[in-house]
Amino acid sequence: MGFCLFGNVAIGAHYARRRHGAERVLIVDWDVHHGNGTQALVEQERDVHFVSMHQWPWYPGTGASDDRGPHRNVWNVPMRAGLPAVEYVDALREAIDAATTGFVPDLVMISAGFDSLLGDPLGAFTLEYEHIQELTRFLVERAEEWCGGRVVSALEGGYAPERLAVACVRHMMALE
Ligand SMILES: [Zn+2]
């Protein structure tokens, strides 16, 4: 729908399952837009759990909380614009907990969209670098318990170049 040519993370999840023996994959998408392409590409796979937090109402208009996919392996977390950042962090952590109750991933993939940062021209979330670090550390620590720390992160949105650059570095440092 205009942002992506390929659903990189969804392709990566399918590839990991078919070629690398990962049975269960958790995808976490904190891009400010709903991961509609990812959902379309993974919602038929019961062993891929997909969590997307996104601004609501906002482009592309999909991703209501009651849209769980045909196998209920999708957790959509629509959030209003301009909330205190801690509300986004808490909501995403809760959804990750829900998506991994009774489901231990072999691999965690992050759709790391930094248009969820405060000041992005295409979004109105309020995350700062420290929140990106916090969410990254949360996922790395969980991944260490689940699957020996296997995390793959892919850059997605982010339209304020200087903020995007700093966020990428802080995110990568937190992935160590
Ligand atoms: Zn986006």
Separation of 31 CA from ligand 1 center, angstroms?
5
Separation of 142 CA from ligand 1 center, angstroms?
25
Confidence of residue 156 (pLDDT cuts 50, 70, 90): very high
Confidence of residue 176 (pLDDT cuts 50, 70, 90): confident
Which residue, among 73, 154, 143, has the nearest Cα to 108 in the 3D structure? Answer: 143
CA–CA gap between residue 27 and residue 162 (Å, rounded): 26
> What is the pLDDT at residue 161?
98
> What is the pLDDT at residue 118?
98
CB atoms within 10 A of CB 44: 11
The answer to whether residue 2 scores a pLDDT higher than 90 is: no
CA–CA gap between residue 62 and residue 158 (Å, rounded): 20
- The tokens for 37 are 């392409």
Separation of 106 CA from ligand 1 center, angstroms?
26
Separation of 110 CA from ligand 1 center, angstroms?
13
One-letter amino acid for residue 151 of the chain = V
Separation of 24 CA from ligand 1 center, angstroms?
25
- SS3 of 47-101: the string is CEEEEEEEECCCCCCCCCCCCCCCCCCEEEEEECCCCCHHHHHHHHHHHHHHHCC
Separation of 113 CA from ligand 1 center, angstroms?
6
109-154 tens-digit pLDDT: 999 999 999 999 999 999 999 999 999 999 999 999 999 999 999 9
Separation of 128 CA from ligand 1 center, angstroms?
16
> What is the pLDDT at residue 4?
87
70-92 tens-digit pLDDT: 999 999 999 999 999 999 999 99
Separation of 44 CA from ligand 1 center, angstroms?
23
> What is the pLDDT at residue 3?
86
Separation of 19 CA from ligand 1 center, angstroms?
29
Query: What whole-number percentage of the chain has pLDDT above 70?
Result: 100
Q: 15 Cβ partners below 8 Å, 6+ apart?
A: none
